[in-house]
Structure 1
Amino acid sequence: MTVGVALNASDAENQVDASVGLAREAAAAGLRSAWFGQTFGADSPHLAAIVGREVPGLQVGTSAVPVFGRHPLIVAGQAQTAQAATHGRYHLGIAVGTKLLTETGFGLPFERPIARLREFLTVLRQLTEHGTADFHGELLTANTPVPARVPGAEGGVPLLVAAMGPQALRASGEPADGILPYLAGPRALERHIVPAVTAAARAAGRPAPRITALVPGVVTDDTDAVRARATEQLAFYEQIPSYARVIELSGVRRASDLAVIGDEKAVAAEVRRYRDAGATEVVFTSTEIAGDADRRRTWALLGELA
């Protein structure tokens, strides 16, 4: 199992410079990967490419680019460019996204998300592996009258999906290399998520999928204050049906109940629980809810575990 961290420097004076600085610190602590979320701000594939270029040896990834409001030709070009920039250390995560952000932000109807995910993945696989596409689906069309290959990105780009529900897991098992579940506790992983995606991959004749579990967590002595901030920060996800379901399957009531907060011994024990539940990689998120001292303390522990 490898251990990584999600970097969020959106409050910095310069997000790119700050992300590079955080990534260097994470790599020095022994962490293996750095991941970047995608909303309406910084472009995460570009940010990952810059960070990966500046911090040699660190794996970088996007978690995750929504399929609504984007076309796979554009996303494949971004991913291949990031892969060439990092010499094979980029990992592309995609997601269905949410009805709220899709319809409010893009003005697009959030319709047939699983069908769109399947088609998007099919085209991405063609483009990232072969640099060409000839796809005419129900929702997407992708043709390459000129090559879409990026020299330096040979060998493809690992494709991961932020999938947790049964339909999304089935759709991810065949064309994707793995999944990026967030706010899915060990119980939900072991009983529901890992068996479903593994069965889908096996049925498609593919290797066992990567399970990259994104986990909010902080090593701290001030557990009450940090958990209170986590409760405020994570409450948004409780309004989204897919997250509400996986929170319930995890056997807890609030999203913040899944935050791993405590001293080194307690946090290390929780990371082991994720490993035992089937996670092949654990990525800590939400370290920005703590101060710099607790963040460094968290990364030091994760570096040891890596």
Structure 2
Amino acid sequence: MTVGVTLDTTGTDLTLDDAVRQAREARASGLASLWFGQTFGHDAPTVAAVIGRDVPGIQLGTAALPVFGRHPLLVSSQAQTVQAATGGRFHLGLAVGTKLISEGGLGIPFERPVARLREFLTVLRQLLETGEADFEGELITARTSWPARVPGAAPTVPVLVAAMGPQALRVSGRLADGILPYLAGPRALEEHIVPELHRAAQEAGRPAPRVVAFVPGVVTPDPEPLRARLYEDLAFYEQIPSYARVIEQSGHRHAADLAVVGDEKDLADAVRRYRDAGATDVVVSGTEIAGDDARLRTWEVLGELA
């Protein structure tokens, strides 16, 4: 099992220079991977490419690019370019996104998201594996007139999906290399998510996919103020049906109940619980809310576990 962290370039004043500096700190802490979210600020794949050129020896990924508003031909070119820039260390994380972003931000109807995900992954796999596509679906059309290859890119790019619901898990098990569940506790992983994912992969004759579990967490000597803030910051997810369902499957009422806020043993025990529930990788998020000292201490603890 590998252990990584997120680097928040979405809701902060973090500059690219700051991001590179923190990436060096993550690498020095012994962490295996660094992941970047995507909203309307920094472009996550570009951040990965910039960091990958300056910071060797750490895996980089997006968590996650919404498929609405993007075309697999362009995403394939983008992913291969980042893969070439990082020397084969890039992982492409995708998501269906939310109605709020799709309709409110982009003006695109949030219709048939699982069907769009299925067609998007079908085209993307063709492009990444062969450099060509000839596909006409109900929602996506993609054809190449010449090979869609980027010189210097690795033979392929790992593709992971922020999937937690049954339909998205079935699609991901058949067409992706893994999933990126967030706010899905060990119980939800063990009883619902991992079995469905593995069943779909087996039916498709594919190896067991990776399960990269994202967990809010921080090591701090003063947990109560941070825990109170997380109840406010994460309450948004309780209004999204897919997250509300997986929080309930985890045995909790609130998103913040899944956060690990405490000492070094609390965090280490939580990582082991996720591993035992079927996670192949654990990525800890939200460390920036506690300040640099707590962030660095959390990263050191995770690096020791890695």
TM surpasses 0.5 = yes
Q: Distance in 2 between matches of 1:53 and 1:202?
A: 37
Q: Distance in 1 between matches of 2:168 and 2:87?
A: 30
1:202 to 2:202 alignment: yes
Aligned to 1:297: 297
Aligned to 1:90: 90
Q: How does 1:132-171 map to 2 (within 5 A)?
A: 132-171=132-171
Cα deviations by residue, 1:92-119 (Å, 9 ceiling, x for unpaired): 0000000111100011110000000000
Q: For structure 2, list consecutive stretches of 5 or more residues without a partner in the other structure.
A: none
Q: Distance in 2 between matches of 1:269 and 1:14?
A: 31
Q: 1:214 Cα deviation (Å)?
A: 0.5
In 1, are the aligned partners of 2:237 and 2:243 still within 8 Å (CA)?
Answer: yes
Aligned to 2:116: 116
Aligned to 2:251: 251
SS at match of 2:35: strand
Q: 1:127 Cα deviation (Å)?
A: 1.0
1:41 to 2:41 alignment: yes
Cα deviations by residue, 1:113-140 (Å, 9 ceiling, x for unpaired): 0000000001111111221111111100
Aligned to 2:22: 22
In 1, are the aligned partners of 2:9 and 2:41 still within 8 Å (CA)?
Answer: no
In 2, are the aligned partners of 1:183 and 1:255 still within 8 Å (CA)?
Answer: yes
In 1, are the aligned partners of 2:44 and 2:62 still within 8 Å (CA)?
Answer: yes
**Partner AA of 1:57 in structure 2:** G
In 2, are the aligned partners of 1:9 and 1:18 still within 8 Å (CA)?
Answer: no
Q: How does 1:207-246 map to 2 (within 5 A)?
A: 207-246=207-246
Q: 1:154 Cα deviation (Å)?
A: 3.5
TM-score by length of 1: 0.98
Aligned to 2:4: 4
In 1, are the aligned partners of 2:9 and 2:37 still within 8 Å (CA)?
Answer: no
In 1, are the aligned partners of 2:131 and 2:149 still within 8 Å (CA)?
Answer: yes
Q: Distance in 1 between matches of 2:49 and 2:215?
A: 23
Cα deviations by residue, 1:156-181 (Å, 9 ceiling, x for unpaired): 10000000000000010111000000
Q: Distance in 1 between matches of 2:66 and 2:172?
A: 14
Q: 1:12 Cα deviation (Å)?
A: 5.7
Aligned to 1:68: 68
SS at match of 1:279: coil
Q: 1:153 Cα deviation (Å)?
A: 1.4
Number of corresponding residues = 306
Q: Distance in 1 between matches of 2:11 and 2:62?
A: 19
Q: Distance in 1 between matches of 2:15 and 2:126?
A: 33
Q: 1:9 Cα deviation (Å)?
A: 3.6
Q: 1:100 to 1:13 in 2, by over 3 A?
A: closer
Q: Distance in 2 between matches of 1:68 and 1:10?
A: 18
Q: 1:292 Cα deviation (Å)?
A: 1.0
SS at match of 2:65: strand
SS at match of 1:236: helix
Aligned to 1:55: 55
**Partner AA of 1:290 in structure 2:** A
Q: Distance in 2 between matches of 1:28 and 1:237?
A: 32
Q: Distance in 1 between matches of 2:181 and 2:162?
A: 5
In 2, are the aligned partners of 1:12 and 1:18 still within 8 Å (CA)?
Answer: no
SS at match of 1:160: strand
Task: Let me know the Cα RMSD of the aligned residues.
Answer: 1.0
In 2, are the aligned partners of 1:189 and 1:278 still within 8 Å (CA)?
Answer: yes
**Partner AA of 2:132 in structure 1:** T
Q: Distance in 2 between matches of 1:28 and 1:249?
A: 36
Q: Distance in 1 between matches of 2:290 and 2:13?
A: 19
